């Protein structure tokens, strides 16, 4: 007999980053009783690390902006694999969601006339990112947190969900434990929202927090939900490369938005060497014009450093591979050069990019107002995830919703910077609203004791192996997985390497089944990691399988053996679902046909 | 590569004790890297709280060689050479296990502070106008990452355990951000004086010294709040006025 505590709520939100908190607020305001499971302490989720800004066509800085331009920018950036309805809703609703944050106490940087200031970012035609220096994520999560604590929401801090619970085909709750004592908890809910963010920690070089292990995507998959676009992982072009212990740490695109330039070891601005056709019309070929663009000249075209992230990351990889890299295997990102242009450059840089200044000074001993930074690509974001209905955020499983990074569709093959923060506001709100409605309209489900008994005995199994000869160290398996994903499922992929990766993941699975941990159930990271491996391996496998299926190069997915775009693959998304044998089914599913008026918009703005 | 000796606090049934661990340190490593390495190599169940390892989430606060710091922003190269590195949990909070403390009191205190209450919007579209100059000081306070190092080092909390009577530096900064927000129309001075015990602070500035975000907690948050409280409740002329206008 498993012992556990039981809790009842109308809506259960798993995840306490931006999407989870926004969803919880909305569900609570709709009258539902709401629980939020925070894997860490409240306010510490990965949203806190977002830097550059939140994209919304407020048109405060350039009045030519509007939802139509934001929509077409998002579709172009996603290479038209996006769910067009999500892109439409996102572009239309993001401005209201940002203004709402101001009403809840957020303090964004201001324009001269006292409105919310917006900055340039890659792939956005006009200055569109509302921001607070380079700590926008902190401002957002703190605003949501401080608003949410005064709503009718119960927060379960430092709790982890291990499995969703089902009644027939419907999700009716979740099983988890609290970190402090390791006690089991069963959460009953009529509707469950997954808002667990990304999976960067399955790679060795990543900008992500500890808790980005893909947990929610895996929970949904094992409950039977469909995943799509898993092959599209975003490698952010500018992560730190030195010293080794901070490799991967993010350097905001805002550096380039403020005039920072990329150079190779010959001093050449190599981004001018390769401008994709899709962006030729709006990209400058002149250094001087590019600088004017970053300084707000509305008639100037943007510099190639502000092309989309997938492209910039590949150009950097090429420079490094062809021997034109920096001493520690990156390229140079230089913001200090702007002293040639403006008189108070060091103060200007410190004011616009305070965290970057601080980060390099403290961790690398580099003063970015005086010398260039060394940068290289880092695993940053997954465009794919749980497939959802655009309007309601319901997954393919009844009662299960998803929002934020763990949900898929908005970004297609590549996400534009700033669109993740607006994504989590727009679709967090929608998920909360529709989950509350669903909860109101449905009756309580039943949870079968046998389900709980099976999960709990699996969860405790690492302790049985604590002293067994040959028991595996969970931290070692995790680190081996990160190493192999980096090597085999990174920026440049091939069929042979992806097949190799899938084989390796199989081996890791059998090793994980033999992972043991010492100590007891109280705050035990070895135990937690042993359990977590299941999620990390599931998500790793989904990425590798989807990447093998897409035999073309598009957005964040680059296949060395199929380096061009293919018409056939431009018409499909890759779908992944668990079959009745518990294996991963990979299918190509046709995109839904875009609405006529939206297609016309895209044509007009080409 | 150099091998470094660590003394790390481990809890046990008798309370706890320092345990020695040795691990190899390579270039650029921070203290949190070393703790993780020790965890992976020698002590899988060593409890440590962390998230971003980038100085942004404020989870990995601990006392390193007696100094309250973020483990992720403390470089091993700044540790004295040839000496063991001592790591222990924050002293002002009850220990849960090893390096992890129970900081839940901070969440309870925050909840009792009156929430943001904006004036009606300035424009017909429901938006406000604020100049950058008017929000600079609020933005300084909003840099806070809630690492609670200031709470840890504040003697009112650390030595005298007056958590229920004095809200502590973090919540003075939080209150200051609300009070000085150009849109906010709430009055929190009465609470500051009575429930949140601003009088307990005798401006020793320890909190300011340890703030990883370099917020001028004492000068920019606490002293101006003390002035507001003094102005409202202790101004003799106003006091007379209050007596006679009753």
Q: Is A180 on the interface with B (CB under 8 A)?
A: yes
Considering only CB atoms, A524 lies closest to which of B45, B54, B110, namely: B45
Q: Is A392 on the interface with B (CB under 8 A)?
A: no
Closest of A103, A155, A206 to residue A425, by C-alpha: A103
Considering only CB atoms, A138 lies closest to which of B33, B56, B127, namely: B56
Closest of A313, A372, A269 to residue A122, by C-alpha: A313
Check CB contact under 8 Å for B181 and A525.
no
Considering only CB atoms, B135 lies closest to which of A107, A246, A476, namely: A107
And the tokens for B11? 């809890």
Find tokens 């060091």 and name the residue.
A346
Residues in chain B: 246
Residue B219 DSSP symbol: I
Give A211 to chain B, closest Cα distance, Å: 7
Answer for the pair A74, A56: CB distance below 8 angstroms, yes or no. Answer: no
Q: Look up the ipTM and state it.
A: 0.96
- Between CA A230 and CA A585 the distance in angstroms is 13
Check CB contact under 8 Å for A245 and B56.
no
- Between CA A449 and CA A341 the distance in angstroms is 69
Q: Please report residues of B whose CB lies closer than 8 A to that of A519.
A: 44-45
Q: Please report residues of B whose CB lies closer than 8 A to that of A16.
A: none
Phi, psi of A345 (to 5 degrees): -50, -50
Answer for the pair A115, A43: CB distance below 8 angstroms, yes or no. Answer: no
- Between CA A119 and CA A352 the distance in angstroms is 11
Give A362 to chain B, closest Cα distance, Å: 7
Q: Is A40 on the interface with B (CB under 8 A)?
A: yes
Beta bridge partners of A573: A589
Answer for the pair A141, A45: CB distance below 8 angstroms, yes or no. Answer: yes
Considering only CB atoms, B44 lies closest to which of A110, A114, A517, namely: A517
Dihedral sign of CA atoms A391, A572, A208, A512 in order: positive
Q: Please report residues of A whose CB lies closer than 8 A to that of B27.
A: 243-244
Torsion of CA B24, B28, B33, B34, to 10 degrees: 30
Check CB contact under 8 Å for B40 and A476.
yes
Residue B222 DSSP symbol: I
- Exposed/middle/buried for A205, CB within 10 Å: 0-12, 13-18, 19+? buried
Question: What is the count of residue pairs from A and B with beta carbons less than 8 Å apart?
Answer: 163
Check CB contact under 8 Å for A249 and B55.
no
> Which pLDDT tens digit goes with each residue over A506-540?
999 999 999 999 999 999 999 999 999 999 999 99
Residues of A noted as catalytic: 236, 256
Alpha helices in A107-152 (DSSP H): 136-148
Q: Is B232 on the interface with A (CB under 8 A)?
A: no
Check CB contact under 8 Å for B115 and A150.
yes
> Which pLDDT tens digit goes with each residue over A533-569?
999 999 999 999 999 999 999 999 999 999 999 999 9
Residue B78 DSSP symbol: G
How are the residues of chain A apportioned to helix, strand and coil, as percentages rounded to the nearest 5? 40, 20, 40
- How many C-beta atoms lie closer than 10 Å to residue A71's C-beta? 23
- How many C-beta atoms lie closer than 10 Å to residue A520's C-beta? 14
Q: Is B179 on the interface with A (CB under 8 A)?
A: no
Considering only CB atoms, B52 lies closest to which of A49, A132, A242, namely: A49
Q: Is B140 on the interface with A (CB under 8 A)?
A: no
pLDDT of residue B236: 85
Q: Please report residues of A whose CB lies closer than 8 A to that of B184.
A: 105
Considering only CB atoms, B142 lies closest to which of A44, A110, A142, namely: A142
Residue A12 DSSP symbol: E
> Which pLDDT tens digit goes with each residue over B155-191?
999 999 999 999 999 999 999 999 999 999 999 999 9
- Between CA B181 and CA A457 the distance in angstroms is 52
And the tokens for A310? 């997938």
Q: Please report residues of B whose CB lies closer than 8 A to that of A363.
A: 28, 30, 73, 75
And the tokens for B95? 């220990």
Check CB contact under 8 Å for A149 and B107.
yes
Interface of A with B in 234-253 (CB under 8 A): 242-246, 249-250
Q: Is B142 on the interface with A (CB under 8 A)?
A: yes
Answer for the pair B206, B151: CB distance below 8 angstroms, yes or no. Answer: no
Q: 3-class secondary structure for A412-442? A: CCCCCCCHHHHHHHHHHHHHHHHHHHHHHHC
Q: Please report residues of B whose CB lies closer than 8 A to that of A355.
A: 56
Interface of A with B in 119-158 (CB under 8 A): 132-133, 135, 137-139, 142, 146-147, 149-150, 157
Q: Is A102 on the interface with B (CB under 8 A)?
A: yes
Check CB contact under 8 Å for B56 and A355.
yes
Q: Left if phi > 0, otherwise alpha if psi is -120 to 50, otherwise beta: which for A392? A: alpha
Helix A474-488 and helix A495-512, axial crossing angle in degrees, nearest 10:
170
Answer for the pair A417, A129: CB distance below 8 angstroms, yes or no. Answer: yes
Tell the CATH topology of B104-237. Answer: Fumarate Reductase Iron-sulfur Protein; Chain B, domain 2 (1.10.1060)
- Between CA B135 and CA A132 the distance in angstroms is 11
Best B8, B10, B12, B45 member to test A by mutation, with max A CBs in 10 Å, is: B45
pLDDT grade for B244, boundaries at 50, 70 and 90: confident
Q: Which chain A residue is nearest to residue B37, measuring alpha carbons?
A: A475
Domains parsed from chain A with CATH numbers: 235-379 (3.90.700.10), 459-571 (1.20.58.100)
Q: Where in chain B is the domain with CATH 1.10.1060.10?
A: 104-237
pLDDT of residue A606: 83
Check CB contact under 8 Å for A110 and B96.
no
Q: Is B97 on the interface with A (CB under 8 A)?
A: yes
Q: 3-class secondary structure for A343-407? A: CCHHHHHHHHCHHHHHHHHHHHCCCCCCCCEEEEEEEEEECCEEECCCCCCECCCECEEECHHHE
- Between CA A495 and CA A548 the distance in angstroms is 6
Q: Please report residues of B whose CB lies closer than 8 A to that of A479.
A: 40
Q: Is B111 on the interface with A (CB under 8 A)?
A: yes
- Between CA A307 and CA A260 the distance in angstroms is 13
Answer for the pair B208, B221: CB distance below 8 angstroms, yes or no. Answer: no
Contact partners, residue A580, CB within 8 Å, separation at least 6: none
Closest of A127, A187, A139 to residue A5, by C-alpha: A187
Q: Please report residues of A whose CB lies closer than 8 A to that of B111.
A: 149-150
Beta bridge partners of A8: A188
Q: Please report residues of B whose CB lies closer than 8 A to that of A518.
A: 44-45
Answer for the pair A376, A330: CB distance below 8 angstroms, yes or no. Answer: yes
Check CB contact under 8 Å for A364 and B107.
no
Distance from first CA to last CA of chain A, Å, rounded? 63
Check CB contact under 8 Å for B129 and A113.
yes
Q: Is B71 on the interface with A (CB under 8 A)?
A: no
Answer for the pair B218, B225: CB distance below 8 angstroms, yes or no. Answer: no
> Would you call A455 helix, strand, or coil by DSSP?
helix
Contact partners, residue B31, CB within 8 Å, separation at least 6: B64, B69, B71, B72, B74, B75, B76, B79, B85, B87
Considering only CB atoms, A245 lies closest to which of B29, B44, B181, namely: B29
Which contacts (CB < 8 Å, 24+ apart) does range B3-7 have? B4/B34, B4/B76, B4/B79, B4/B84, B4/B85, B5/B84, B5/B85, B6/B34, B6/B35, B6/B38, B6/B84, B6/B85, B6/B86, B6/B87, B7/B84, B7/B85, B7/B86, B7/B87
- Between CA A489 and CA A498 the distance in angstroms is 6
Check CB contact under 8 Å for B75 and A363.
yes
Check CB contact under 8 Å for B52 and A209.
yes
Match domain B2-101 to its CATH number in 3.10.20.30, 3.40.30.10, 2.30.40.10, 3.40.50.1370. Answer: 3.10.20.30
Residue B8 DSSP symbol: E
Strands (E), B76-118: 85-88, 95-97, 100-101
Q: Is B44 on the interface with A (CB under 8 A)?
A: yes
Q: Is A363 on the interface with B (CB under 8 A)?
A: yes
Does residue B95 surpass a pLDDT of 70?
Answer: yes
Considering only CB atoms, B111 lies closest to which of A105, A149, A522, namely: A149
> Would you call A177 helix, strand, or coil by DSSP?
strand
Phi, psi of A126 (to 5 degrees): -120, 165
Q: Is A366 on the interface with B (CB under 8 A)?
A: no
Best A15, A17, A46, A48 member to test B by mutation, with max B CBs in 10 Å, is: A48
- Between CA A231 and CA B182 the distance in angstroms is 46
And the tokens for B199? 């009088």
Beta bridge partners of A497: none
Answer for the pair A206, A233: CB distance below 8 angstroms, yes or no. Answer: no
Greatest alpha-carbon span in chain A = 73
Contact partners, residue A45, CB within 8 Å, separation at least 6: A15, A16, A17, A18, A20, A38, A39, A141, A197, A209, A211, B51
Closest of A520, A178, A463 to residue B45, by C-alpha: A520
- Between CA A562 and CA A495 the distance in angstroms is 9
Give A193 to chain B, closest Cα distance, Å: 22
State the 10-residue block means of pLDDT for chain A, 606 residues long. Answer: 91 98 98 98 97 96 97 97 98 98 98 96 94 96 98 98 97 98 97 98 95 96 98 96 91 93 97 94 94 93 94 95 95 97 94 91 94 96 98 98 98 97 98 98 93 96 85 96 96 97 98 94 97 98 98 96 97 98 97 97 93
Q: Where in chain B is the domain with CATH 3.10.20.30?
A: 2-101
Contact partners, residue B226, CB within 8 Å, separation at least 6: B198, B199, B201
Does residue B246 surpass a pLDDT of 70?
Answer: no
Answer for the pair A81, A552: CB distance below 8 angstroms, yes or no. Answer: no
């Amino acid at each position: 007999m498993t012992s556990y505590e039981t809790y009842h709520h109308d809506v259960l939100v798993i995840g306490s980053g931006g999407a989870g908190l926004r969803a919880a607020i909305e569900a609570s305001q709709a009258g539902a009783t709401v629980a939020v499971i925070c894997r860490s302490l409240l306010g510490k989720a990965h949203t806190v690390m977002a830097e550059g800004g939140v994209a919304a066509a407020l048109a405060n800085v350039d009045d030519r902006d509007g939802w139509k331009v934001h929509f077409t920018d998002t579709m172009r950036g996603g290479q038209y694999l996006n769910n067009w309805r999500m892109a439409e809703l996102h572009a239309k609703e993001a401005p209201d969601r940002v203004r709402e944050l101001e009403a809840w106490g957020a303090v964004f940087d201001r324009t001269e006339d006292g409105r919310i200031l917006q900055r340039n970012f890659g792939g956005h035609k006009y200055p569109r990112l509302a921001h607070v220096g380079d700590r926008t994520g902190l401002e957002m999560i703190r605003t949501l947190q401080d608003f949410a604590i005064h709503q009718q929401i119960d927060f379960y801090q430092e709790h982890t969900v291990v499995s969703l619970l089902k009644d027939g085909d419907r999700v009716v709750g979740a099983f988890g434990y609290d970190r402090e004592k390791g006690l089991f908890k069963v959460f009953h809910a009529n509707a469950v929202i997954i808002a667990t963010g990304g999976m960067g920690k399955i790679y060795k070089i990543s900008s992500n927090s500890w808790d980005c292990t893909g947990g929610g995507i895996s929970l949904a998959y094992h409950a039977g939900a469909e995943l799509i676009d898993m092959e599209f992982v975003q490698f952010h072009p500018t992560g730190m490369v030195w010293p080794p212990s901070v490799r991967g740490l993010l350097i905001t695109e805002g550096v380039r938005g403020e005039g920072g330039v990329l150079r190779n070891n010959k001093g050449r601005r190599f981004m001018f060497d390769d401008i994709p056709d899709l962006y030729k019309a709006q990209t400058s070929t002149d250094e001087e014009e590019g600088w004017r663009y970053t300084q707000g000249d509305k008639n100037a075209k943007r510099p190639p450093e502000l092309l989309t992230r997938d492209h910039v990351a590949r150009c950097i990889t090429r420079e490094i591979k062809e021997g034109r890299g920096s001493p520690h295997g990156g390229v140079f990102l230089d913001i200090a050069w702007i002293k040639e242009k403006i008189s108070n450059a060091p103060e200007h840089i410190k004011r616009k990019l305070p965290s970057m200044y601080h980060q390099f000074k403290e961790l690398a001993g580099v003063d970015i107002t005086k010398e260039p930074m060394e940068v290289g690509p880092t695993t940053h974001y997954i465009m794919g995830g749980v497939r959802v209905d655009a309007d309601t955020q319901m997954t393919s499983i009844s009662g299960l919703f998803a929002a934020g990074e763990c949900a898929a569709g908005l970004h297609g093959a590549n996400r534009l910077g700033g669109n993740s923060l607006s994504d989590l506001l727009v679709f967090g709100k929608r998920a909360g609203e529709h989950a509350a409605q669903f909860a109101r309209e449905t009756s309580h489900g039943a949870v079968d004791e046998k389900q709980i008994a099976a999960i709990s005995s699996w969860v405790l199994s690492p302790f049985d192996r604590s002293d067994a000869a040959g028991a595996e160290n969970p931290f070692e398996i995790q680190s081996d997985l990160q190493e192999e994903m980096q090597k085999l499922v990174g920026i440049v992929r091939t069929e042979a390497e992806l097949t190799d990766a899938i084989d390796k993941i199989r081996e890791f699975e059998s090793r994980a089944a033999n992972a043991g941990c010492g100590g007891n159930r109280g705050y035990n990271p070895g135990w937690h990691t042993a359990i977590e491996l299941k999620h990390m391996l599931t998500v790793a496998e989904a990425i590798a399988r989807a990447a093998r299926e897409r035999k073309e190069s598009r957005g964040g997915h680059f296949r060395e053996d199929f380096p061009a775009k293919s018409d056939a693959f431009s018409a499909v998304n890759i779908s992944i679902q668990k079959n009745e044998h518990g294996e991963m089914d990979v299918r190509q599913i046709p995109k839904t046909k875009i609405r006529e008026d939206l297609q016309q918009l895209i044509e007009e703005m080409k | 590569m150099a091998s470094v000796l660590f003394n790390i606090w481990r809890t046990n049934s008798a309370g706890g004790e320092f345990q020695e661990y040795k691990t190899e340190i390579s270039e650029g490593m921070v203290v949190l890297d070393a703790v993780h390495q020790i965890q992976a190599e020698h002590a899988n169940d060593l409890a440590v709280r962390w998230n971003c390892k980038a100085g942004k989430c404020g989870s990995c606060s601990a006392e390193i060689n007696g100094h309250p710091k973020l483990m992720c922003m403390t470089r091993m190269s700044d540790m004295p050479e040839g000496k063991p590195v001592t790591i222990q949990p924050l002293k002002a909070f009850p220990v849960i296990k090893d390096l992890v403390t129970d900081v839940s009191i901070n969440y309870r205190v925050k909840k009792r502070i009156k929430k943001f209450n904006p004036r009606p919007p300035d424009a017909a579209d429901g938006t406000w106008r604020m100049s950058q100059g008017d929000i600079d000081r609020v933005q300084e306070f909003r840099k806070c990452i809630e690492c609670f190092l200031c709470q840890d080092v504040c003697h009112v909390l650390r030595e005298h355990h007056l958590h229920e009577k004095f809200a502590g530096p973090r919540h003075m900064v939080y209150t200051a951000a609300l009070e000085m927000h150009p849109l906010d129309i709430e009055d929190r001075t009465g609470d500051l004086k009575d429930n949140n015990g601003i009088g307990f602070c005798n401006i020793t500035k320890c909190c300011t010294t340890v703030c990883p975000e370099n917020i001028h907690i004492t000068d920019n948050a606490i002293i101006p709040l003390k002035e507001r409280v003094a102005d409202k409740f202790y101004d003799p002329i106003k006091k007379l006025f209050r007596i006679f206008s009753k």
